[in-house]
A = this chain, B = another copy of it.
Amino acid sequence: MTGSHYPTIVIGSGSAGFTVAISLSQLGKQVALIEARAVGGDCTNVGCVPSKTLIHEAGEQHGTQPDAAAVLATVRHKRDDLRDEETQQVKQTEHLTFFHGTARFVGAKQVAVQLDDGSTRELTGDNIVIATGSRPTLPKVDGLPSHRTLTNENIFELPTAPAHLAIIGSGPIGLEMAFAFRDLGTRVSIITNTDRVFNKSPIAASETLDVALRERGIDVYYYALATHYDEISETLRIKTPQGPVELSGVTKVLIAAGRQRNIDTIGLEQTGVKFDPKTGIEVSSHGQTSVAGIYAIGDVTPTSFWTHSANAQGRRVVQRIAFPWLPAFGQEPLYPNATFSDPEVANVGLMPDQIAKKYHPKLIKTLRFELPKTDKGYTEGLTHGFVQVYALRLTGRILGATIVGPRASEMISFFTLAITEGISLYKLFRLVYPYPTLSGAIQKVADQYVRETLPAFHIELLDLARYGAETAWQRLRGGTFEVAAPAVLSASVSP
């Protein structure tokens, strides 16, 4: 075993770790980057890049006789090209030493790397950045053989589209793959143990997606559990509130039932770093763990579930390490999210369930305008989608926004900016939006707010005084407005 010392060691080369390693080395800082699998992590290899390429390419086939094999080959080709490029980059960047192997803490600032050739290198670092990401949770389905089982890690290796794809889970990955494979001609059945798809989004988004899924001929089984797979008859048996259902001709099963943080396999107990197996590694707003010099970013933290949030956390860690004299950060920035289903769903800011815990319901206005009712929606023949805004009464302060529609992922940044900068609905009311666009719905939402607020200004003022006081009182008590909520839920949400 040989040892070396580096100012910074980064474990994991996904969106979070890649950002830190490349940025620091470009600033002239020595960095060791350790990756056990492919450079680029999930996003490049088994996440955003192949999935968004698939969604785009499959969408192009929508309504035609799809050539699934060609589409999947294109997906792999583009993915491989990008991975090769990123691999070259980590190998050729000055000040960056790349190790392909598995890292494990053997001390607070000490990591052992088992290299591909079986040898082990021991590295010490002044700073160690944990960016080991997550992996799919794998609920057991009795009788389901591994060659029938897909996760995001092998689905893009399919030579062609399966005849019938059962998807366990209805989060972003499950929904995106449902629409994409449907475009490729696959029969798709979604099995979810929840009462609605995409249950991290507001109910209105789930309702819209439910309709969109059914219109596309995708079956959804709610409150359902896949219990058994019969290999001979290719039958997946599921339990539903209406009794057992047998799905026949199921050739593949995609498990998209949540993610598990990669913090159990890296010897974290050697470091003294505080973490909770359920919520991840405790970090400050700039990624600092409970041990000075050890940082954690990306999926291993409690707040980041996305490539862009991992990247943003990485950027903050770079600033802390490279420019420690710069003023410390305030709270983490807003992380918007976007799911590339059809229609797309995008959220930013506080969601209705979070708002319900922080504010008296009488203080909140929910405003919504349907995209098909915009003139752009009319000219495009749009049938689904909306802009929905959660705002404080009277002041017009925007707390959160949800957009469901064909360009939701591009439209949401408008609200990230508005919420971050504290821009009220009164100001959005005075803004001019190009015609005809779906963004015109933002104007309609602001119009509705002003129309409902101004004529009743005195009532709004009285209500603000009354329910604002109640809200303040509740917060002083550490309580929330969801009186009936279970204690554990309330405890995690005190404002």
Contact = CB atoms under 8 A, between A and B. Distances in A.
Interface of A: 15, 43, 48-49, 52-53, 56, 78, 82, 306-309, 311-312, 333-338, 346, 375-376, 378-381, 407, 409-414, 416-418, 420-421, 423, 427-428, 430-440, 442
A434 B49 contact: no
A436 B82 CA distance: 14
A251 B3 CA distance: 79
Nearest to A56: B380
Nearest to A311: B435
A96 to B, nearest CB: 19
Contacts of A53: 379
A51 B32 CA distance: 56
Given A82-B378, A376-B52, A410-B407, A346 B423 contact: no
A409 B434 contact: yes
Given A49-B379, A410-B407, A433 B56 contact: no
A417 B443 CA distance: 12
B434 A338 contact: yes
Contacts of A379: 48-49, 52-53, 56, 78
B432 A312 contact: yes
Contact of A434 (B56, B346, B376, B442): B346
A250 B214 CA distance: 47
A379 B307 CA distance: 15
Nearest to A439: B413
A410 B439 contact: yes
Contacts of A442: 413
Given A407-B407, A413-B442, A414-B414, A432 B48 contact: no
A68 B250 CA distance: 41
A409 B413 CA distance: 14
A52 B436 contact: yes
A432 to B, nearest CB: 5
A52 B375 CA distance: 10
A335 B430 CA distance: 11
Contacts of A308: 432-435, 440
A305 to B, nearest CB: 12
Nearest to A15: B435
A427 B418 CA distance: 12
A450 B128 CA distance: 26
17 contacts: A48-B375, A49-B378, A78-B379, A307-B436, A308-B432, A308-B434, A311-B432, A334-B431, A337-B434, A338-B435, A409-B437, A410-B439, A413-B414, A413-B439, A413-B442, A417-B418, A417-B428
Given A53-B379, A56-B379, A427-B421, A334 B410 contact: no
Contacts of A307: 435-436
A82 to B, nearest CB: 7
A440 B440 CA distance: 22
A167 to B, nearest CB: 21
A336 B56 contact: no
A49 B440 CA distance: 14
Nearest to A447: B315
A253 to B, nearest CB: 26
